[in-house]
Amino acid sequence: MELSYILNELGEERENYFNAIAPPIIQTSNFAFKTVADLRVALSNEFEATLYSRGHNPTLNILRKKLAALDNAEDALVFSSGVAAISIPILALLKQGDHIVSVENPYSWTIKLFKDFLPKFGITTTFMDGSELENFEKAIRPETKLIYLESPNTFSYELQDLKAVSGLARSKGIITMIDNSYCSPFFQKPIELGIDLAAQTATKYIGGHSDVVAGVVTGSRELISRIFNHEFMNIGATLSPHSAWLLIRGLRTMPLRIQHSFKGAEKITSWLLQHPAINKVIWPFNADFKQSELAHQQMQGCGGLFSFTLKDSSLEKIETFCNRLQHILMAVSWGGHESLVIPTIATISKDDYDRNNGRHQLIRMYVGLEEADYLIKDLDQALNH
Ligand SMILES: *Cc1c(COP(=O)(O)O)cnc(C)c1O
């Protein structure tokens, strides 16, 4: 399906709402039925019905169709956060005694899910370096039911070979799931590479304006209905119709925004690389990135998130640099219109800072919709202080 069709037409039935270009926000909790027979049909299979807005809602359905098509997946579910889009499918597909093989250092709340939350239900996780296929082979046990990927990582950018890992998992009957937030389906289509479930936060690039928290998972109709029928409906992390509407609006301009972010990161990372105060820049599309070949093979573009370290890696220097930025804001999250930085040192206590630990030194930057030269000027004045 063509991208322009997906973003501008798919799922939109304008003749049903006065030929309005923008879809209506169907702000309703429930839907009425004319006959007991019709109501019975809806109650017997809520996945196929529009019955109650904790399940399906017409505004959300427009969004679901577009998101599924972007991933070339059969179906999609949307959630009230990206974390819900990760946790709920995992809770739906695993049970007591099952085992997960996960990449090391996935998104922080995913780590908490695997380390603190799932063990309460008897589900255990082995973390391993996902850049080598043989590490997956070694970690798989007879009770392994899920391989969990995040490629690239959103702080340190390690990749996994999605085609190779999905092939291995398939041969052993293990479900694969990826957090595809970094690339979004515009730059990476995991389902086409054989991955079963592609989750992403919609808070970042899809929303795009730092005003919605939401998430999405795509996959086969069989898996999506399994997730819907139990944990999705039971946990109830439902997206509001208004938020769904904002995400449909975000999707219209997403190709332009993500391209701008990509090109901005390209320009800014090459500027940083030649700056005397910079030690290292990590971005999957940089020539010196250790998995650069794999990145170009399975990604059609690169996100605007990258990390760098300063030559002077003292805690004070990193803090002063970040504090001196005038236009680039300091905040968590990314994917909005505004450029951001966040240093790893903000996530640990000062006493735990180890200047020999590469991860501790990282400063992450997200390139938003400002002009690259404007951001470079800001970085330059903060670096030269
Ligand atoms: C932000 C983020 C999430 C979580 O999404 P929320 O919408 O904040 O719940 C998950 N994974 C990655 C990589 C993220 O950056």
- The reported pLDDT for the residue numbered 291 is 97
- Read off the pLDDT of residues 70-96 as tens digits, 9 standing for 90 and up: 999 999 999 999 999 999 999 999 999
- The reported pLDDT for the residue numbered 163 is 98
Rounded to the nearest angstrom, the distance between the alpha carbon of 83 and the centre of ligand 1 is 6
- The reported pLDDT for the residue numbered 371 is 98
- Read off the pLDDT of residues 283-310 as tens digits, 9 standing for 90 and up: 999 999 999 999 999 999 999 999 999 9
Mean pLDDT (whole number) for 194-198 = 98
Rounded to the nearest angstrom, the distance between the alpha carbon of 19 and the centre of ligand 1 is 35
- The reported pLDDT for the residue numbered 350 is 93
User: Mutate which of 78, 79, 83 to test ligand 1's pocket (most atoms within 8 Å of Cβ)?
Assistant: 83
Ligand 1 near 81 CB (within 6 A): yes
- Residue for token pair 């004045």: 381
- Read off the pLDDT of residues 154-170 as tens digits, 9 standing for 90 and up: 989 999 999 999 999 99
Ligand 1 near 179 CB (within 6 A): yes
Distance (Å, whole) CA 341 – CA 319: 11
What one-letter code names the amino acid at 210? S
Rounded to the nearest angstrom, the distance between the alpha carbon of 107 and the centre of ligand 1 is 7
- The reported pLDDT for the residue numbered 385 is 75
- Read off the pLDDT of residues 205-214 as tens digits, 9 standing for 90 and up: 999 999 999 9
Mean pLDDT (whole number) for 219-229 = 98
196 DSSP assignment: S
Rounded to the nearest angstrom, the distance between the alpha carbon of 369 and the centre of ligand 1 is 20
Residue 305 phi, psi dihedral angles, 5° rounding: -100, 135
The three-point CA angle 157-161-165 to 5° equals 125
Domain boundaries, the chain: 3-250, 254-383
Listing DSSP states for 87-120 in one string gives: HHHHHHH--TT-EEEEESS--HHHHHIIIIIGGG
Confidence check: pLDDT of 97 > 80: yes
- The reported pLDDT for the residue numbered 379 is 98
Ligand 1 near 82 CB (within 6 A): yes
Confidence check: pLDDT of 324 > 90: yes
- Is the bond preceding residue 24 a cis peptide, omega within 30 degrees? no
Pairing of strands 99-103, 124-128: parallel
* Ligand 1 atom with the shortest distance to the CA of 154: 13
- The reported pLDDT for the residue numbered 230 is 87
Rounded to the nearest angstrom, the distance between the alpha carbon of 201 and the centre of ligand 1 is 5
Closest protein CA for atom 4 of ligand 1 = 82
Mean pLDDT (whole number) for 329-341 = 98
Mean pLDDT (whole number) for 242-246 = 98
Confidence check: pLDDT of 216 > 90: yes
Closest protein CA for atom 2 of ligand 1 = 201
262 DSSP assignment: H
Closest CA to 334 of 367, 370, 309, 374: 367
Contact between 309 and 362 under an 8 Å Cβ cutoff? The reply is: yes
Identical topology for domains 3-250 and 254-383: no
- Read off the pLDDT of residues 100-132 as tens digits, 9 standing for 90 and up: 999 999 999 999 999 999 999 999 999 999 999
Contact between 132 and 106 under an 8 Å Cβ cutoff? The reply is: no
- The reported pLDDT for the residue numbered 76 is 98
- What CATH number is given for 3-250 in this structure? 3.40.640.10
Domain covering 254-383, topology: Aspartate Aminotransferase, domain 1 (3.90.1150)
User: Mutate which of 154, 180, 205, 247 to test ligand 1's pocket (most atoms within 8 Å of Cβ)?
Assistant: 154
Closest CA to 328 of 314, 342, 308: 342
